[in-house]
Amino acid sequence: MKKTLHYSRAEVVEYEDSAKYAHVLTQYFNYVRPHGHINGIENQENVIVLYNTPHWQPTEIADVVHIARIPSDIIFYDKKVSAMFEPRHQWVEVRLNGKHAGYYCKDINVLVATDWTHMYSKENEEIVKEILQAVGACKIRTKKQKITITVGSDPEFELIDVNTNRIICAGEHFSGTDPDIEIGVDGAGNQVELRPKPGDIRQHVQHVRSLVRKFSELGCFDLSTKGDVYPLGGHIHIGGVQPTEDVLELLDDFLGRHVVDLSGSARGSYKSLGAYEKKSYGFEYRTCPTAIFHNAKILKICLKIVKNLLEKLVNKGTITYYYPVKAEDYYQHARLTENEYKYFRWFIENYRSKLANQTLLGAWKVRRKKPKPTWKLTISQNDTFSDQIRQALFAIPERFRLRKDIYVFGLHEKRGNVYTFPTRLGTRITEFDPCISANTVKIGIAYWVRVSEDERIIGQLIKDLTKYLRQNKAIAYKRKKERTS
């Protein structure tokens, strides 16, 4: 079976079943308004208003168009008149089976009709088409600018404490529900919500990746797309199109109904087809679970399905495909490659059993950056050092980049002229060995040197000490940028 869906850029006020007639009415009118109020009806162009209040009637009728049809209780006939107007143009009355069905003015292409869209049926759609043909309505032929769909998102994730490997409440560590906050929490405060910038597919996937990297630097946390503790929505933001019934049905057929069951057990009533929320830029498609953000490859494929399908529907005005959707429809309309389609199907079939337990950082191949250690040189406060010695020792971190902690202490005067490192000034002792560990170097200095103010002695000490520290990789020459900063 094949299915045909429609989209028009004409403005359709959705009321009752008006949207189901939109693909017919918007071929003739730029504005479709049922059960509304329009003043100055002759000041309008390319408008159809159904069941207008007040009920307009021109004082003069140029002609009556009679249409014979099987009576239908779906079209509501109404002859109530609450406002008369002197026409500047010629108006014809439409009668269906002898009953009033509206007034039409060809000069301005305005139709003031009775209630046609109260309830949809295929039979009634054919009657509407016949009325439009009978009164001589002309299809609007305007060249429309090509629409480019933009995509965005605000996926929700469960927060993992990597130390305990448990799901924890995000609100205890993150905050912010404002759309401008890139890494915050959802409205309930239980899930981490990422808010990458919108754009085309490549840009948006890259924005998601950059936020995953940024998140990896914020602490000992990871993220999960599983959703068995907290409900997770993989909401897609779509700009450039309105969420008509046909738009939502198209997204459901190609994407929503295939991925909605990947939702975790906590999603509950949020797990539904056709879920959306209107936005200033277009709308937010809320059917997809966060599972589609599991890795960059599946996200790119899902966004490609959304963008390419909607651009075709919006710019062509119609789309026809098999239902249930076949592989050839994904190739033709969503423009997936064969490998992309195969991975899409594989991912859906294997996500719960093989992928759901994988964390986001692992799936996106983002390595957690280890914080750079802050090394320091410390001089014992319990031992006496001359000001000149202290100044010379503290100059070492200014000249060199520390790669370990350096702890300098004083050896007792009774020990004599001994040191814990080789120097021309005296003898090296091994009593304190090992003086070097993975992160620390301990430096012991003889009493007579550490209280000295002699520049020659201090110079020799620093020369021998820095040579020893360099050999043991405790210090290194600063890079050019470090020296000039």
Nearest to 158 by CA among 215, 243, 83, 101: 215
The answer to whether 233 touches 259, Cβ cutoff 8 Å, is no
The reported pLDDT for the residue numbered 77 is 76
Give the Å distances, CA to CA, from 23 to 44, 119, 201, 250, 256.
21, 15, 29, 15, 23
- Cα-Cα-Cα-Cα torsion 301, 350, 330, 122, nearest 10 degrees, comes to -120
Q: How many CB atoms lie within 10 A of CB 307?
A: 22
Pairwise CA distance, residues 101 & 114, whole Å: 5
Between the two ends of the chain, the Cα-to-Cα distance in Å is 70
Summarize pLDDT for 289-338 with one digit per residue, the tens.
999 999 999 999 999 999 999 999 999 989 999 999 999 999 999 999 99
C-alpha to C-alpha distance for 18 and 16, rounded to whole angstroms? 6
pLDDT of res. 142: 67
Phi and psi at residue 156, in whole multiples of 5°? Answer: -110, 145
The domain limits of the chain are: 2-134, 150-363, 377-484
CA distance 472 to 403: 10
Bridge partners for 418 per DSSP: 427
Provide CB contacts within 8 A for 68, sequence distance 6+. Answer: 97
Q: Is the peptide bond before 155 cis (omega within 30 degrees of 0)?
A: no
Tens digit of pLDDT at every position of the chain (485 positions): 999 998 888 888 888 888 888 889 989 999 999 988 888 889 999 999 998 878 888 999 999 999 887 666 667 777 778 888 899 999 999 998 888 899 999 999 999 999 888 888 888 899 999 999 999 998 887 677 899 999 999 999 999 999 899 999 999 999 999 999 999 999 889 999 999 999 999 999 999 999 999 999 998 999 999 999 999 999 999 999 999 999 999 999 999 999 999 999 999 999 999 999 999 999 999 999 999 999 999 999 999 999 999 999 999 989 999 999 999 999 999 999 999 999 999 999 999 999 999 999 999 999 877 667 889 999 999 999 999 999 999 999 999 999 999 999 999 999 999 999 999 999 999 999 999 999 999 999 999 999 999 999 999 999 999 999 999 999 999 876 665 55
What is the reported pLDDT for 368?
78
| Closest residue by Cα to residue 462 from 395, 415, 417 | 395
Per-residue CA distances from 355 to 95, 255, 358, 368 (Å): 63, 19, 6, 20
What is the model's pLDDT at position 181? 95
Q: What is the pLDDT of residues 148-196, one digit of tens each?
A: 999 999 999 999 999 899 999 999 999 999 999 999 999 889 999 999 9
| 3-state class (DSSP) for residue 335 | coil
- The reported pLDDT for the residue numbered 375 is 93
- At residue 463, the pLDDT reads 96
